[in-house]
Every structure is written in C-alpha cells, then in structure tokens.
A = this chain, B = another copy of it.
C-alpha cells in the first residue's frame, strides 16, 4: 500500500455544505451555497466562509458586514444545490426554492432560513483575499435551533436533523453516530451508558 501523487487540489473531504443567507439595507435577501466553510475558533465561536468576488453575495456581505450560516438537511438538498449554481442577480432564491426568510438573532438585515435545522448568525470580523476566493471570518453572535430538534433538556437531536455533507462534488447523508469524542479511552461503564443511549434513540 502506498499513495499516488496527485496535483494539489481542494480534496479535503467530507466538508459541511451550508446555505449562507444575507441581505443589505437596499438589497433583498439572498442565499449562496458554500462548501468552503469551517469552524476556526471556539471562544469566541467563529467560522470562516470563502466566496469568489464575482459572486453576487460577495458584495452584499462585504457591505452589510453580516451573514447567516444555515445547516442543510437532506430534505433541503435540491434547494441547496440550486442556490449553489444560480445567481441572486438573476433569480429570487427564496421565491424559487419555496424556503422562508425569517429574522435571525443579532442580525440587522441578514435573515435565517426557517426550514434549516440550525443557523449561526455571524458578524464579519476580518476578510482576506487568498487568490480565487476571499475568506470572511465571522464571529457567531446568534444561534437558533429548529424547535422540533430540541428536547426538554435542551439536547439537540442531530440524527433527526438529517444533515448533508459534501464530498468532492457529491452530496452525501450521514450515518448514525459510530463513536463519540473520547470513546477510544473511555471507561467501560461510560461506553456502556453511551451505547445504551444510542440504542434507545
């Protein structure tokens, strides 16, 4: 077994695929689908999104200084793809997809997507031109989870959220959890408890 050399490329997989919503004072709400996204800091919580300057949302976010990262469920997959291949210059993406724009915690204009399992509302803290893309660093200032995904104790049901990942040009679903952070060194009683919980849900 060994590795074959390939030309360097954007092979990191899987990645999240998210629908980023934005709006401006005089700009109607728009959605852009992005896979070039990641968590970059825990405290304060921050994400990076990278956008080509040619894209319609690039200027909207630069001028408004805010954006909302909406997680994508399998049910939203076709709308998600549509918002990645069409431009807000030509179509009203909320209208075309039937998704609903709702107000997002902490945002002046950028809406969240009602149907999304969860949204992260971000204020732009920094931006950097890296070549083909500009990276926006956003601090998460508001967060919403769809009410049907939260139990009485405030625990989020990620299995029910049915999220989608992106894998080198293809959309994939997720299996049920197969391990948890720390499981490799967990004591037998912890493993038993966590496994039992998994079987009951």
Chain A residues with a Cβ under 8 A of chain B:
1-16, 18, 35-48, 50, 69, 71, 74, 77-79, 81-82, 84-86, 102, 105, 112, 114-115, 118-120, 126, 128, 130-133, 135, 137, 139-148, 150, 156, 158, 161, 163-165, 167-185
Contacts and interface: CB of A to CB of B under 8 A. Distances in A.
Given A147-B3, A174-B175, A39 B16 contact: no
A51 to B, nearest CB: 11
Contacts of A177: 167, 170-172
Given A3-B119, A40-B48, 8 more contacts: A3-B144, A5-B142, A12-B69, A12-B71, A13-B71, A38-B48, A42-B131, A171-B177
B175 A85 contact: no
Contacts of A142: 5, 8
Contacts of A74: 178
Nearest to A183: B81
A150 B6 CA distance: 10
Given A40-B135, A45-B10, A181-B85, A144 B5 contact: yes
Contact of A8 (B14, B81, B141, B180): B141
